[in-house]
Amino acid sequence: MTMSSAVDAYVGARRHLVRSALRTIASLTGRRKVTVTIAIGGLLASFGAVLATGRTDRVGAAAFVPWVMLLGVELGPNLGTLGGLAATGLYGIAVADAGGPHDALALAVRTAALAGVGLATGLLARRISSDAQELQSTSALQSALLDSTVDGICLTDSEGNVLLSNAPLRRISVEFGLPPYGTVVDRLLTLAEHTTEPARYRERMLALSTNLEPSEDEFELADSGRVFRGYTAPVERRDGTLVGRIWTLREVTSDRHLERLRDAFVAAVSHELRTPLTSISGFVEMLEDEEESLGESARSYLDVIRRGTGRLQQIVEDLLLVAQIEADRLELRRGPADLAQIAETAVAAARPLAAEKEIGLELHVEGPLPLEADAGRLGQVLDNLVSNAIKFTLPGGSVAVSVRGGDGRAEVEVADTGIGVPTDEVGQLFSRFYRASSATRRAIPGTGLGLVIARAIVEAHRGSIALESREGEGTKVTVSLPA
């Protein structure tokens, strides 16, 4: 839309120049009556010049052409044609007065030529006027559309000079107190000292002045606490020619405020739950010591309490871990580890659950795969992936865990034949608290934190995690780590 506005404005300007060339005198006066008066005066002046010089040849006839064109431009094709006929009449009078030869054919040709000039100029002026009005209407519509958006938008040339901008961006510029001149980067650099991270902000702005690749950044104003997200990308024609660059700016203060409140709430709830859960766990352990003296019903109640307490503890630990991840405080205790052994432990721990749900659980290991890593955290990742695979697989299905190595990498693949995930939701599975629609429809319990934690731990090990899924066919998660 922004590129189209720029091109339309450019084309409109070029056509306006053509029309202005045809209406040079009219553009100086700006009034139709004066323009017509000047054109008539020009016709009479040409008539007088022909009488005075006696030039009744083609040069004399040509003297009437500019004024006929001016009448055609100003009055349209019909009156322009009449103007051409009038000019021919004046020319005929001048020829008769000069006693020149009365060549009927020549006079007819010049009459037709002058009338044609008036007609063609009028039609051309009408076409240009119609196109200009259409372009102006389209440009006004596009400008109104851009001005009605939430984002501030501007288009610059390759040097960073502003070609056009919308109302929200101009309003933000006034609020920031940015100078009305210079390139976009020069203007934004004046804001550096007002941000919470002046050095980083200045570094990013200078990088944007030389790098035309798409980028996205956020900055916060120190005095007001307002947060803005900026995006920029090159704008190219269909043939790949660079037109310029688009810049957008959006205020995300409320979004960041809500995120901080949510994080504070999660942390507070997690800490508040930890204390009573610790007490409950302690009493459960005391009851377990006396489990033999309990009746069958009491033992079943105790088992329910034990499972519920364990689940709550796991949720609290996940919430606290996510809070650490968001605060970049995830700690790893690296040491010699064997990925194959970690996978074997995870599969062994999950076998009772798989047997209970009548799900086949297989492990394929090529051999020891030593690596330098936090074995506990990687065990947490595999426990999560395997338990997820079992949770989302229906009875009679299967889960396969494969461990392999090569090319300096160690990989673990967890594949299941479960309910899968809709293709358009796969990209959101690594978002906090997100749960696939295929899981919510079946009321399968979960918090939507497992994959978030798994990815954070894997990436902290300089590894990668990928997920492929098809609804109704199953899911495959692959973890790749440097060996």
Closest residue by Cα to residue 450 from 389, 399, 361: 389
Question: Domain boundary at 218, 251, 284, which?
Answer: 251
How many structural domains compose the chain?
4
Residue 225 sits in the same domain as residue 260: no
In angstroms, the CA 367 to CA 181 distance is: 66
pLDDT at 35 (0 to 100): 72
pLDDT of 382 reads 92
The widest CA-to-CA distance across the chain, in whole angstroms, is 142
CATH number of the CATH domain containing 288: 1.10.287
* Residue 385, pLDDT score: 92
* pLDDT value of residue 360: 92
Place of tokens 């000039």: 117
Instruction: Give the pLDDT of residue 27.
Output: 47
**Domain end position, chosen among 105, 129, 147:** 147
The pLDDT assigned to 31 comes to 59
Distances (CA, A) of 269 to 308, 323, 360, 361, 453: 17, 12, 38, 36, 19
Could you report the per-residue pLDDT of 154-176, keeping only the tens digit for each?
A: 999 888 898 888 889 999 889 88
Where the chain has pLDDT below 70, the residues are 1-32, 50-51, 54-62, 76, 80, 91, 94, 97-111, 116, 118, 266, 270, 327
Residues 140 and 158 placed together within one structural domain of the fold: no
Q: What angle do CA 250, 251, 254 make, to 5 degrees?
A: 140
Angle at 306 between CA 302 and CA 312, to 5 degrees: 140
* Residue 315 shares a structural domain with residue 286: yes
346 and 462 together in one domain: yes
337 and 377 Cβ atoms separated by less than 8 Å: no
CA 176 to chain centre: 23
From CA 95, how far away is CA 60, in angstroms rounded? 10
pLDDT for 29? 40
Element (H, E) at 304: helix 296-326
Residue 8's pLDDT is: 47
Domain housing 18:
2-147
pLDDT for res 21: 44
